[in-house]
Structure 1
Amino acid sequence: MQPVSLEKTQQRIGSMFDRIAATYDFLNHFLSAGLDLWWRRKAVRALALPPGSVILDVATGTGDLALAALQAQGDAHVVGLDLAFNMLQIAQAKRDRKGWSASRYPLLQGDALELPFPAETFHAVMIAYGIRNVPHMGAALKEFHRVLRPGGLLLVLEFTLPSSALLKRLYLFYFEKILPRLGGAVSRDPEAYAYLPASVGAFVTPEELSARAGDAGFHSSRVQRLTGGITYFLTAVKNGGQRTR
């Protein structure tokens, strides 16, 4: 097997997700047996923000996390940002079908390392399965910290490896042998679905991510593992105030 490039330039990541946008939702739901939607709903419930909160969804993709947050968070507003224009087009179509207005869920093309927002704009910043795709995680976390209000909440949803040895073997067999073949065949983009397991395997552990968040100025980090530990979400609070309520 050829080694998989883990280059994470803006151009490469944006182009990759633009190419697979048309089959992205189908493959997410099919390859996870629909669990990906439940993972997102479970994660956004941890936000527990007051009505009227403003949330930034970085790497919003096709909008599933943002739409789950809109359903769960009363009259919150969610700003979706992503590198990939084609993903944003699908998010816009889903938003419109579900009857959410552009003012409740505006969509912008942009980079996690250079967020186009003033400091202390948002009550929460969230990112699902995107933090491992940024070239400089520490810089991204500092940007998230910058745009959060004091006491604002960070939510990160990401893959990891199960702690159980048996489950880890089964998971890795599926993740490294079956998923890339199925994903590559359906999307006609083998590179993208070879990159997925390779990027997960090379990414930091949840505990290391928590430490990196602390380095960026966050505190009170909590990690909750889901589905046997194959995925997890992390919450952390911005220093400088009580958690937003």
Structure 2
Amino acid sequence: MLQTGSLLHVVRRLFSSRRVFDLGAWPYRLLTNNIAWQTNCSRLLDGVPVGTSKLRVLDLGVGPGVSALAMGRRYPNLQFVGIDIVQRMLELAAENRHYEGWATNRLFLLRADVLRLPLLNESVDVVTGHSLLYLLEDPLQALGEALRVLRPGGFASFLEPSGGKVRWSWVWRQRSIRFFISACLWRWYSGIHQRYSPEKLSTLLSLAGFRQPTTEESLGGFGIFARARKP
């Protein structure tokens, strides 16, 4: 008989398979197509001195492109590289890119593993990730790769599920059934994998070599932003 720890490991592996993400790509795009979620995605760049610079942003686990497109609407001068391991997610991201009227070089999509990025050292200005680290067995390795491809002084920003208290009243005030369903599913799914405290996320970034980590509650306590810089 499987012990509780072993059973949980099996369940995590099952719900982390590419097949699961491939099947869930279209529902994920549908549910995240709401103002509350997209506004939250655009806030990944809060604190980054974007200005009018043509910064290059690497979005890890780009999925259907929701985060990259939201950030791009807020800052039209940025260029993005979106990486995902799931082909169906990239296909949906390409469809969304076309719908937004973006050129392919505004959001360049690449199928790759975030644990082994096919990018040169110090080749991007910002690294972002929305709902990424909690799915990985080795988030520290992914952060190490992010640090490698960042230029000195570059920024990293992640949004991960929080293990703290959630405020369901905040979710209801968004008046979006899609957002309500996506928040519920995110809460359930992160319970299978992992949720973060501010201290754990800050420690993880510091261990990877980042400096000045900060955290901020988001999405009514469902999520937590973690931001840091490369020395």
Give the TM-score category using the shorter length.
Answer: 0.7 to 0.9
TM-score for the superposition, normalised by structure 1: 0.77
Q: Could you list the per-position Cα deviations for residues 89-143 of structure 1 after superposition, in whole angstroms to 9, with x for gaps in the alignment? A: 1110110111110011110011110000011000000000011112201111110
> Could you say what secondary structure the match of 1:39 adopts?
helix
Q: Could you list the per-position Cα deviations for residues 173-226 of structure 1 after superposition, in whole angstroms to 9, with x for gaps in the alignment? A: xxxxx969x86xxxxxxxx99644322xx3332221111111111011111112
What is the alpha-carbon distance in structure 2 between the residues aligned to residue 193 and residue 108 of structure 1? 28
The residue aligned with 1:209 is 201
What is the alpha-carbon distance in structure 2 between the residues aligned to residue 136 and residue 64 of structure 1? 24
Q: Is 1:6 the counterpart of 2:12 in the alignment?
A: yes
Counterparts in 2 of 1:16 and 1:47: CA distance versus 1, 3 Å: farther
The residue aligned with 2:157 is 155
Task: Mark the runs of 5 or more structure 1 residues left unpaired by the alignment.
Answer: 172-177, 184-191, 240-245
Q: Is 1:227 the counterpart of 2:228 in the alignment?
A: no
The residue aligned with 2:46 is 45
Instruction: Give runs of aligned pairs for residues 45-124 of structure 1, distance below 5 A.
Output: 45-50=46-51, 51-124=53-126
Counterparts in 2 of 1:218 and 1:193: CA distance versus 1, 3 Å: closer
| Identical counterparts, % of pairs | 26
Q: Is 1:198 the counterpart of 2:212 in the alignment?
A: no
Superposed displacement of residue 44, structure 1:
2.7
- Corresponding residue to 1:236 among 220, 228, 231: 228
The answer to which of 107-116 and 219-228 deviates more is 219-228
The residue aligned with 1:16 is 20
> Could you say what secondary structure the match of 1:106 adopts?
strand
> Could you say what secondary structure the match of 1:149 adopts?
strand
The residue aligned with 1:26 is 30
* Matched-pair contact (CA < 8 Å) for 1:5–1:195: no
Counterparts in 2 of 1:55 and 1:224: CA distance versus 1, 3 Å: same
* Matched-pair contact (CA < 8 Å) for 1:6–1:195: no
> Could you say what secondary structure the match of 1:5 adopts?
helix
Instruction: Give runs of aligned pairs for residues 125-136 of structure 1, distance below 5 A.
Output: 125-136=127-138
Counterparts in 2 of 1:193 and 1:153: CA distance versus 1, 3 Å: closer
TM-score for the superposition, normalised by structure 2: 0.82
Task: Mark the runs of 5 or more structure 2 residues left unpaired by the alignment.
Answer: 1-6, 172-179
> Could you say what secondary structure the match of 1:91 adopts?
helix
> Could you say what secondary structure the match of 1:108 adopts?
strand
What is the alpha-carbon distance in structure 2 between the residues aligned to residue 110 and residue 44 of structure 1? 23
What is the alpha-carbon distance in structure 2 between the residues aligned to residue 216 and residue 102 of structure 1? 32
> Could you say what secondary structure the match of 1:93 adopts?
helix
Amino acid of the structure 1 residue aligned with 2:201: L
Superposed displacement of residue 34, structure 1:
4.6
Question: Aligned-residue CA RMSD in angstroms?
Answer: 2.8
Query: How many aligned residue pairs are there?
Result: 213
